Amino acid sequence: MIDHVSVPVADLARAAAFYDKVLAPLGYIRLVERPATIGFGKTYPEFWLNLREGLNPADTSDGAHVALRARGPQAVQDFYDAALAHGGACDGRPGPREATNPGYYAAFIRDADGNRVEAVTFVTAD
């Protein structure tokens, strides 16, 4: 079981403001703030931003991929919309990814540092 993940960012304040908006639909809030790191989570920090001064943005073929669980398709959509509204880039519109797994519904975004973050939920047929 994974306890937490960290992504590198060149500008901690910029990244924190972005993730405040983007992670809110998933139920994450800013829980820990230190001079070079900020932790987001629901009850404990699960998603960390780590300052890496001089960091060049990852190319679209590079970088980390982090998937965070969403409560449902609307939370996936809200995550995606918030990312695009606050400077993120689309890396996969919200929708089913049936080739991955039946019921897999996700959206992918890239932040200003090139980190690829996904919101995913699983839907069942009625």
The domain ranges of the chain are: 5-122
Among residues 49, 39, 63, which one has the least CA distance to residue 115? 63
pLDDT (tens, 9 = 90+) of the chain, 126 residues, equals 789 999 999 999 999 999 999 999 999 999 999 999 999 999 999 999 999 998 888 777 776 789 999 999 999 999 999 999 999 999 999 999 977 788 999 999 999 999 999 999 999 866
pTM for the model stands at 0.92
DSSP state, residue 49: E
The pLDDT, as a whole number, for residue 16 is 98
Quick one: 5-122 is in which CATH superfamily?
2,3-Dihydroxybiphenyl 1,2-Dioxygenase, domain 1 (3.10.180.10)
Decide: residue 68, CB within 10 A, 0-12 exposed, 13-18 middle, 19+ buried.
buried
